[in-house]
Structure 1
């Protein structure tokens, strides 16, 4: 979506102030990998309106900028905005960059003139290039119409090349009149300077959203370098405060957080509708600021995180519920879905997945994961890792790319008990019968109808288990007519009481003036033909890969991959069913492993 449309939605729904983040392309491949992990965490925790990526002078980071922007758009869960500058760029290079952005699904561009290249004191237009940001805005609008959302830069203190603030404001209005949708400002530390700039913009007829750029102070030296480079006015009180604590990095960072919170609160009271945070590719300060401001939305529009570019998705198989990146990667090219029944294998649009390559962890990531998961040498060690995750002692498993959902607390004791008996759970949900869609643990639904909706869900669990358990588990499940199950190993042995072609709604919701929504489904074909292979591959490609080839840990995980079964068990009775008592019976029937 275009960001201006997202802003309009937020304003209509009353969800303001909104906020967004800026990142820059790191210089190394390892840095890019780590930045993506950081963006994922920040998006998952904070749900920003969008994230933008800077463009190096003369297109020096063009490939990285476009690729990171495309990755944000497709995989992160938020909208992407790509910077584009004119410095050392011919018109042909500009068009090439815009075309590539369009091909990769990027819908928003921040149009900038750019700074002079290093070693050049004054900015000069390149031969065959454009002169001003307004020219770039005009060019994009003339060539692509309304396809792209366009933002431009504003300068509360006036651009360094402007002859006066009035002259700079006239150039800003020219950019807006050329077709820009919104303005994002340069950093500032004097709140009154921004307010004066905002008022003057409105006085001369600039009516579009004006988003202040907030750069938290991260370090004493970095702050001075940045403000000197940008010629930013800094109130004397801030300089004096920093001088007193400049030797204490933690105190400087804490001061920067508090200063940004104070600024945002003041501007929100004035009526400013959004904030753009210059993260400098760091996360701690921005997370602290947004949380302290109380801006993070915790309500769910669906039982899973919506992804930018696929916000109309109506149904998702539960098998990929905890692996959104993997699911999105597999289904990226599925453009035509009858009734948006994503994941129904009978759909003509349901194609075979692209094989996922082995995870290329960095050395730092391998060290971190070994610290989390240790070096298991027995099945008991593996079981304990799953239990520790459920009890909050470690924050991720190979099958869970995100933190546990709040609803998991409702069946946490059951899951711990199952794992203690070597039923290694990877996906689950409790039963729900007509809970309010505003419920803090299980609620979800269309935001405009949240107060009047009810949600339902069938309880289910998905787990790996040793082959010696399979017959005992099935003997219990077959006694319960309300239970559906599937079990398979990597070799393809498949056991189920579900008929071929079965698709079961796992969650559904009832809202005013809407058909019943069925966001997550259990599809027999998806489970056996695709999810089974991916779920087992995780043992090797995302866990065993962090250990040496002949190590006991790698050999153990390979053995589990070769022999274990993957089970999916659904209690269809969402009113009178009791999945806890069902698995008490299962656990009692398991053979001893001593």
Structure 2
């Protein structure tokens, strides 16, 4: 973990682009609530195969104009170099200086991955096309990518993204801090030392959490799963338990010297804000190294 302690901490929140006018109105309220704690940036997701491209662009530019740096997710799956370059030029022209570069997922039924097959190829293309215009974030998987052949291959894949020009990384969410610590230790032995910021998923709904976790390969520890099952439809108890579990995990991570936290908000403000306040992040930042 020593390599991570050298980096200045940053805190961020992730949104997905809303589909409806009602969703846009809700996101504006959420954005205003989260902007009140002065995060370093927001990020906005990009649907499988670019399926939310236009909504992602609209959401990113709208949020960015409101005063807090906003980073679009950019996927190479299903796209061409020309279409990626078009987006990069658009973002550059609008003052965007951070990109979350991902391989992305293929929509159901799509057989071709596009001209750029992997995230390291996307990172390399961004650097070739835009130089140092963008701070490039990439994904990290402490519990390993669900499609990775094995742990060693996954670590090598991450290293390729760094070698291609990635500045920093955001992890898939996890509930076991040791998985993150072990991942960082392995990276240090490979001399890979960019900031790797833990992704944090507040717990608000058990069935949704199980569905998301099964898709992305995030492990829900048995003791957490059993306790959430015991609460059944008692949403207040699930929320309270979730806040306690995630706050405790975040505290352990911060105490160990992680370079920040990235909250997966699912377009909700209160779950992340509550954890933020329990941790006293605003006060902590005043003395952050």
TM class, shorter-length:
over 0.9
1:258 deviation in Å? 1.1
Structure 1 equivalent of residue 146 of structure 2: 160
Matches within 5 A, 1:145-184: 145-184=131-170
- Three-state SS of the structure 2 residue aligned to 1:206 is coil
1:165-207 Cα offsets, whole Å, 9 max, x none, are: 1111111011011110001011111221111111111211111
Matches within 5 A, 1:447-462: none
1:231-284 Cα offsets, whole Å, 9 max, x none, are: 221211111111111220111111111111011111112111201110000111
Q: Is the 8 A contact 1:70 1:105 kept in 2?
A: no
Aligned length: 283
Distance 1:159 1:256 in 2: 24
Distance 1:31 1:70 in 2: 16
1:49 deviation in Å? 1.2
Distance 2:29 2:94 in 1: 20
Distance 1:220 1:59 in 2: 28
Distance 1:107 1:290 in 2: 25
Distance 2:196 2:21 in 1: 34
Q: Is the 8 A contact 1:217 1:223 kept in 2?
A: yes
Q: Is the 8 A contact 1:110 1:152 kept in 2?
A: yes
Structure 1 equivalent of residue 72 of structure 2: 82
Structure 2 equivalent of residue 340 of structure 1: none
Long gaps (5+) in structure 1 = 1-6, 300-446, 449-594
Matches within 5 A, 1:416-427: none
Structure 1 equivalent of residue 113 of structure 2: 125
Distance 2:270 2:278 in 1: 12
Q: Is the 8 A contact 1:220 1:249 kept in 2?
A: no
Structure 1 equivalent of residue 35 of structure 2: 43
Distance 2:217 2:128 in 1: 34
- Three-state SS of the structure 1 residue aligned to 2:188 is helix
Where in structure 1 do 4 or more consecutive aligned residues deviate above 6 Å? none
1:23 deviation in Å? 0.3
| 1:113 and 2:103 are equivalent in the alignment | yes
Structure 2 equivalent of residue 403 of structure 1: none
Q: Relative contact order (C-alpha < 8 Å, sep 6+): which is higher?
A: 2
Q: Is the 8 A contact 1:47 1:297 kept in 2?
A: no
1:119 deviation in Å? 3.8
| 1:33 and 2:25 are equivalent in the alignment | yes
Distance 1:298-1:224 versus aligned 2 partners, 3 A rule: closer
Long gaps (5+) in structure 2 = none
1:504-555 Cα offsets, whole Å, 9 max, x none, are: xxxxxxxxxxxxxxxxxxxxxxxxxxxxxxxxxxxxxxxxxxxxxxxxxxxx
1:348-375 Cα offsets, whole Å, 9 max, x none, are: xxxxxxxxxxxxxxxxxxxxxxxxxxxx
Task: Normalising by structure 1, report the TM-score.
Answer: 0.46
1:209 deviation in Å? 0.4
Distance 2:52 2:105 in 1: 14
Distance 1:119 1:251 in 2: 40
- Three-state SS of the structure 2 residue aligned to 1:152 is strand
1:540-592 Cα offsets, whole Å, 9 max, x none, are: xxxxxxxxxxxxxxxxxxxxxxxxxxxxxxxxxxxxxxxxxxxxxxxxxxxxx
Structure 2 equivalent of residue 73 of structure 1: 64
Distance 1:103 1:37 in 2: 27
Matches within 5 A, 1:6-17: 11=8, 16=9
Q: What is the aligned counterpart of 2:203 among 178, 199, 217?
A: 217
Q: Is the 8 A contact 2:41 2:68 kept in 1?
A: yes
Distance 1:58 1:105 in 2: 25
Distance 2:58 2:233 in 1: 38
Q: What is the aligned counterpart of 2:268 among 273, 277, 282?
A: 282
- Three-state SS of the structure 1 residue aligned to 2:204 is coil
Q: Is the 8 A contact 2:143 2:217 kept in 1?
A: no
Structure number having the greater helix percentage = 2
Q: What is the aligned counterpart of 1:61 among 52, 59, 63?
A: 52
Q: Is the 8 A contact 2:97 2:133 kept in 1?
A: yes
- Three-state SS of the structure 1 residue aligned to 2:70 is strand
1:434-471 Cα offsets, whole Å, 9 max, x none, are: xxxxxxxxxxxxx99xxxxxxxxxxxxxxxxxxxxxxx
1:298 deviation in Å? 10
